[in-house]
Amino acid sequence: MERSTRAAEWTIHAPPTVASQFAGLARLQTHDALHLHTELRFHLATDVHRFVQALLDGRAGGSVGVLGRSLDDHGYHFRITRDLEPGRQYLRERYAGDPDARFGLIASSRDRDLPRYGVPNDWVSTSRVQNGPWFAAGEDDPRGRSCRELRTCVTEFGCQGLELDAALLAWGSDLLRENGTWTNRLARRYQRPADVRDAYQLRKNAYRVLLTRGRDATVVFVPPMRLMDETYAYLRGAGFRELSESVGT
């Protein structure tokens, strides 16, 4: 707009909180109603983000467990399973009467173990996924590209900024609990490690994205590997309910 030859004809409508950013550019009209101070996607969003932040900061249990149970009581469901197929079945049954509901399989791009458990998060597999059809196509898509198929997978890069009604998150060994703390020691390494300032923080950021993609629910699949047992126990302690305990919810 700054380069427009007709800049004087523009009128900008904005909330008062950002008015200073447009000072001197054009006619400016401020409207309190444009200030999005309330979450629009779901009213529990703030609590979900607080819960996920505490979880990744290593503060599960205590007040975090209380928050997790409160989210469950108010309709946002964190679920957990050591078997991928019941996770798929849970989401299919939950949204059986809603063909427009969007649910899909997501995972970290840096895990190296998940393909052995039916989660194709490797670069070759995920690079073939077209995000538009994956998010939008129905189950009748002839090429099987719909997220509702729960076969193809997108990573934190494919789902960042986008939302699903519910997510089936395959938790990898690239961020696991070990001796009471998080570690990324088993994460797939970067080709140019010198260009990466903090690989551990990048893993936490990736899981923050993955854990907040679902509007209604997040089902976490923790692979049945012994090294993942502590991660599973940690998430359980934070308020994630086993699918076997939550049939129909």
Question: Do 110 and 179 have their domain in common?
Answer: yes
Q: Are residues 56 and 146 in the same domain?
A: yes
Ramachandran quadrant class, 180 (left: phi over 0; alpha: psi -120 to 50; beta: rest): left
| Same domain flag for 134 and 21 | no
Do 16 and 50 belong together in one domain? no
Residue 239, phi then psi, degrees to nearest 5: 120, 0
Q: Mark whether 21 and 116 lie in a shared domain.
A: no
In this structure, are 119 and 240 located in the same domain? yes
The count of domains in the chain is: 2
In this structure, the answer to whether residues 143 and 201 fall within a common structural domain is yes
Taking all residues of the chain, what is their mean pLDDT, rounded to a whole number? 86
Same domain, 80 and 16: no
Q: Which residues contact 178 (CB under 8 A, 6 or more apart)?
A: 185, 227, 230
Distance CA 63, CA 238 (A): 9
Q: How far is CA 75 from CA 16, 50, 71, 81, in A?
A: 34, 16, 6, 19
Tell me: pLDDT of 76 over 70: yes
Residues 14 and 50 in one domain: no
What digits encode the pLDDT tens for the residues 99-133? 999 999 999 999 999 999 999 999 889 988 988 89
Look at residue 40 in the predicted model and tell me its pLDDT: 39
On whether both 25 and 145 belong to a single domain, the answer is no
Contacts of 87 (CB under 8 A, 6+ apart): 79, 81, 168, 219, 221, 243
Do residues 58 and 2 both lie within one domain? no
Q: What percent of the chain has pLDDT over 90?
A: 56
Write the single-letter amino acid at 144: G
**In 114-201, at which residue ranges do the beta strands (DSSP E only) sit?**
153-154, 164-170, 176-178, 181-183
Q: Identify the pLDDT of residue 4.
A: 64
The pLDDT tens digits for 140-189 are: 888 888 999 999 999 999 998 889 999 999 999 999 999 999 999 999 88
Containing structural domain, residue 202 = 45-245
